């Protein structure tokens, strides 16, 4: 993250703790786990493919890596690790977008031909998705938006980061390339309950 008032400096908000066979110690230096060549141990971490800032909570970012099915919620006030993981997709993610009208809500789509809607403030998971895809509970998500850690949060098995499942899901016939929320109408004040889905050679309008 860069501050326009001081472009000479930047802050690393998030990066993997381990990169292949390389581990980073507490002093910030790296050391290979095995005494082999650097080309074998210093394997690069997967690049981040998308980054979306919450329009309602300026400290929250959503991101995912290339060929990953996990969305990570980052708090710029607590750099260095993901605050929350959103798990539910069975294929690689292609797109994420925060709702412009509903705080703590975002939509995602991926190669599993599924659009998932996530509500970080909701206290229950309601989406009908395979049970193996759901991990954690929604109490952690509400605390994440509020800036806390959450009581009774369930860490993911892989990283120890709190995780939760989706609120709703919609199945498409094709791999989902992009999603976009409908903005609020300036005349009626209505909207924000439709999601546009781009997949295959078509565009679908999905109402929550």
DSSP 161-180: -BEE--SEEEE-SS-EEEEE
Which domains occur in the chain, in start order?
Answer: 1-45 (no CATH), 47-207 (2.130.10.10)
Q: State the pTM of this model.
A: 0.70
- pLDDT digits over 4-43, tens only? 777 777 778 877 554 443 333 333 333 444 444 444 455 6
19 φ, ψ to 5°?
-120, 95
CA 178 to chain centre: 15
- pLDDT digits over 132-176, tens only? 333 333 444 444 444 443 333 444 444 567 788 899 999 999 999
- pLDDT digits over 50-70, tens only? 999 999 999 999 999 999 999
Please answer whether residues 175 and 94 qualify as being in contact, where contact means their C-beta atoms are separated by less than 8 angstroms. Answer: yes
Q: Give the whole-angstrom CA distance, residue 118 versus residue 28.
A: 34
Which value, to the nearest 10 degrees, does the dihedral of the CA atoms of residues 81, 86, 87, 93 take? -90
């Amino acid at each position: 993250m860069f501050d326009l008032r001081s472009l000479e400096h930047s802050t690393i908000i998030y990066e993997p703790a381990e990169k292949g066979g390389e581990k980073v110690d507490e002093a910030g230096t790296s050391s290979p786990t095995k005494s082999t060549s650097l080309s074998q141990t210093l394997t690069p971490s997967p690049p981040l493919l998308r980054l979306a800032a919450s329009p309602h909570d300026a400290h929250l970012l959503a991101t995912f890596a290339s060929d990953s099915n996990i969305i990570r919620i980052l708090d710029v006030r607590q750099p260095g690790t993901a605050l929350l993981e959103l798990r539910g997709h069975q294929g690689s993610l292609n797109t994420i977008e925060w709702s412009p009208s509903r705080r703590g809500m975002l939509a995602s789509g991926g190669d599993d031909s599924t659009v998932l809607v996530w509500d970080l403030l909701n206290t229950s998971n309601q989406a009908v998705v395979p049970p193996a895809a759901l991990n954690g509970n929604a109490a952690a998500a509400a605390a994440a938006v509020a800036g806390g850690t959450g009581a009774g949060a369930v860490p993911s098995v892989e990283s120890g980061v709190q995780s939760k499942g989706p609120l709703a899901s919609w199945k498409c016939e094709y791999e989902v390339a992009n999603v976009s929320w409908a903005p609020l109408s300036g005349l009626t004040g209505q909207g924000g309950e439709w999601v546009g889905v781009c997949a295959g050679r078509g565009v679908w309008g999905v109402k929550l």
